[in-house]
Structure formats: C-alpha cells, structure tokens
Amino acid sequence: MEICYIFRVLKGTWGISISFKAEFVSFNPTYMETTLASNKIQIIFNQKVKLSQEEKNLIIKGIQEYETLIVERSKSDKITGIQINEITFNETDFQKESLYFTSIGWVCKALNLKEPEFSVFFDNQKNKYIIEKVEK
C-alpha cells in the first residue's frame, strides 16, 4: 500500500513542501534503479523519480536511521524493499537536505511511529532554512 507523506516548512517569506510517496514491497534483485541501504533493506527508485545521487543518498540516510525497526516490523528474514514511487517539490523552493527529514517522516508514518522533533529556523544571511533533529 502506497503511503504519502508531506514535509512542510514555512517560517519566512517562502517555504519547502515535499510530497513523498512510497511503499513496502518484496525484495527483487532485478530492479535496475535500486540501492541496498543495508544488508536488510533495498530501496527502489521509480524511474520517474529524478534525483541526483547526493539527493538519493540523503533519502537513504534517513531510512537507515530506522533500519532496526523496519526489519523488526517486516517480520521476515528476507530483504525488505522500499519502493519510492514519486517525489514532488517546487524546484525554486527546495533544499536538498530536506529530503533526509522527509524520508524520516515517511518511515514514521509508515510504521505508525511518533516523528522526532525538528528545530527549524530561517537564516537570512544564508537565505535558507536550517533544519536539525532535536536530540533528547
């Protein structure tokens, strides 16, 4: 079942909004656009998802933070697949590092977990949002 998560930030005169649609799927070694995020998680990027490798790595990094929970919830000794079907955002209001937080939000929604708290502020000198996870 596809799950849609929307990451939004609006603290200044502009904001970030990313729609992230993905689903858990069975492992398939024949996918061409695939990445093993670990020895237990396969990430498949749909061909219509056009991201740089750096941007994909930020998504993978967010998913990797929840590897243990993903594997536990899959109740399988096989590799768990996550197929990323669609990512949409306005390119003029986009910061690549927000993909990391978007993937974390998607995992939390998919696993019915409480999202971690984020600290967000707009840095006028850098003309960008600074987003950080709040460590407790």
Q: What pTM, to 2 d.p., does this model score?
A: 0.89
* Mean pLDDT across 92-102: 90
Contact assessment for residue 22 and residue 6, using Cβ atoms and an 8 Å cutoff: no
pLDDT tens track for 112-132:
999 999 999 888 898 888 999
| pLDDT band of 14, cuts 50, 70, 90 | confident
Tell which CATH classification among 3.90.550.10, 3.40.50.150, 3.30.230.10, 3.40.50.720 matches the domain 3-133: 3.30.230.10
CA distance 106 to 50: 18
pLDDT tens track for 45-67:
988 999 999 999 999 999 999 99
Cα dihedral value 97, 100, 106, 107, nearest 10: -170
> Could you tell me the residue ranges of all domains in the chain?
3-133
Mean pLDDT of the chain: 88
CA distance 31 to 11: 39
Strands ordered across the beta sheet of 41-45 = 3-10, 15-26, 80-89, 41-45, 34-36
Contact assessment for residue 62 and residue 8, using Cβ atoms and an 8 Å cutoff: no
* Mean pLDDT across 66-75: 88
